[in-house]
């Protein structure tokens, strides 16, 4: 907003108790994980390969968490910049994995769309933000026609539209939330609970076992893991949302549970969506950016579908930045 400080003062960063809870919980989990891994190493309980894998993952988290939480705490512009960078990194991995990166015209059209939609977010211009979805699809559809190479037209246009939907229009909803002064606990809640969903699915799956969920799509996921993760995520999201949305129209038990279910289902759906993409192409990971995790997309897949779903559910009851000035850049 006009006159916003370069980095928000600490009092603004931690204005909501939910922000403090989440930061404390995440810190505790990382510290606990470090202790467990240290214990495993000292007692030699787990296989060396497993220990190495766990250590790599923890190390990645140690620099990834500040990169994720830092911009959200720092302020609106930082958050939007981080979401833009995340969208570009994810799109790059997607384009290289699907082979779309060879179609420079489509890549250019999608990049233009991703930058434009995040500009609309920064400008706080909801009309343009929404309009960019059909407009960018139009640009992608037109972009490769002048090349006069109809072979593969549907494939490259569809891959472009899908990419823009996921990493441009979809992900930009996360940035748009930052136009509301109370965005910090909401974004932290979504990022933390989506990660929790992954961990819970893994843990319940290992503890209970049982039938596989979708063996052809993702051989390591079990029904027990999926249900356990959904129950955990729903409960935690509902609990945190009750504190964040206290006194609003959303503050009813059934709506809070509904919100939790939406986040929980969308998180797992995002994960399965990326699994389907990888299986279709025939690759294991999208990249090697994050040791122990794979590519950036392997880490952030669960957030892709959560972003628009959570945005519009909250938007229905509460809205984002409705009291804030709009068209900050284009408004003159």
Partner 1 sequence: MMDWQLKPARDLGLSGRDRLRSLSREPGLPAAAIAFLWRRLLRGYLALFHGLRVSGVEHLPPPPFVLIANHASHLDALTLSAVLRGAAARRAFVLAAGDTFFTSLPMAAFAAHAINALPIWRRRTRSSDLTTLRMRLLEDRLVLVLFPEGTRSRDGAIARFQPGIGALIAGTAVPVVPCWIEGAFAAWPAQRRLPRPGPLSLRIGAPLRFETAENGRAGWETVATACEAAVGDLAPGA
Binding residues for partner 1 (CB under 8 A): 92, 95-99, 101-102, 104, 107-108, 111, 152, 155, 280-281, 283, 285, 287-288
CB of 105 to partner 1, least distance (A): 9
CB of 272 to partner 1, least distance (A): 18
CB of 143 to partner 1, least distance (A): 12
CB of 152 to partner 1, least distance (A): 7
CB-nearer residue toward partner 1: 10 or 151: 151
CB of 98 to partner 1, least distance (A): 5
- Number of other residues whose CB lies within 10 A of the CB of residue 198: 17
**Angle at 18 (CA atoms; ends 12, 24), nearest 5 degrees:** 95
CB-nearer residue toward partner 1: 163 or 225: 163
What is the Cα–Cα distance from 139 to 143, expressed in whole angstroms? 6
CB-nearer residue toward partner 1: 49 or 154: 154
Find all residues with CB under 8 Å of 278, minimum gap 6, and list them.
97, 284, 285, 286
CB of 284 to partner 1, least distance (A): 8
CB-nearer residue toward partner 1: 92 or 221: 92
Phi-psi region of 291 (alpha: psi -120 to 50; beta: other; left: phi over 0): beta
Secondary structure class of 182 (helix, strand, coil): coil
CA distances from 160 to 155, 163, 180, 275 (A): 8, 5, 30, 19
CB-nearer residue toward partner 1: 101 or 202: 101
CB-nearer residue toward partner 1: 60 or 248: 60
CB of 262 to partner 1, least distance (A): 31
Q: In this structure, what token pair is assigned to residue 66?
A: 């500040």
| C-beta separation of 231 from 204 below 8 A | no
Q: In this structure, what token pair is assigned to residue 292?
A: 């122990």
What is the Cα–Cα distance from 57 to 293, expressed in whole angstroms? 6
CB-nearer residue toward partner 1: 39 or 152: 152
């Amino acid at each position: 907003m006009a006159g916003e400080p370069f980095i928000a003062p600490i009092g603004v960063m931690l204005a909501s108790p939910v922000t403090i809870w989440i930061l404390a919980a995440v810190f505790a989990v990382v510290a606990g994980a470090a202790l467990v891994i240290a214990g495993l190493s000292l007692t030699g309980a787990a296989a060396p390969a497993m220990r190495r894998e766990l250590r790599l993952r923890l190390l990645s988290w140690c620099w990834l968490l500040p990169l994720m939480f830092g911009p959200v705490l720092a302020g609106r512009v930082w958050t939007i910049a981080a979401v833009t960078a995340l969208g570009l990194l994810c799109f790059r991995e997607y384009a290289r994995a699907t082979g779309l990166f060879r179609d420079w015209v489509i890549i250019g059209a999608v990049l233009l769309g991703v930058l434009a939609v995040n500009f609309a977010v920064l400008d706080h211009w909801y009309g343009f933000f929404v309009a960019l979805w059909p407009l960018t699809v139009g640009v992608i559809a037109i972009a490769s026609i002048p090349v006069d190479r109809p072979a593969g037209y549907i494939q490259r246009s569809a891959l472009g539209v899908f990419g823009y939907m996921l990493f441009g229009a979809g992900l930009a909803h996360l940035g748009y939330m930052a136009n509301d002064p109370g965005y910090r606990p909401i974004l932290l809640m979504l990022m933390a609970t989506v990660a929790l969903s992954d961990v819970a699915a893994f843990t319940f799956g290992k503890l209970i076992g049982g039938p596989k969920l979708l063996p052809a799509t993702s051989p390591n996921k079990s029904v027990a893991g999926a249900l356990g993760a959904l129950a955990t995520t729903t409960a935690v999201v509902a609990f945190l949302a009750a504190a964040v949305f206290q006194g609003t129209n959303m503050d009813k038990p059934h709506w809070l549970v509904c919100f939790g279910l939406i986040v929980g289902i969308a998180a797992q759906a995002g994960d399965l969506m990326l699994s389907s993409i990888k299986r279709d192409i025939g690759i294991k990971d999208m990249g090697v950016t994050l040791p122990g995790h794979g590519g950036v997309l392997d880490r952030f897949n669960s957030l892709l579908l959560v972003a628009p779903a959570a945005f519009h559910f909250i938007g229905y009851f509460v809205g984002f930045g409705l009291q804030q000035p709009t068209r900050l850049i284009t408004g003159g």
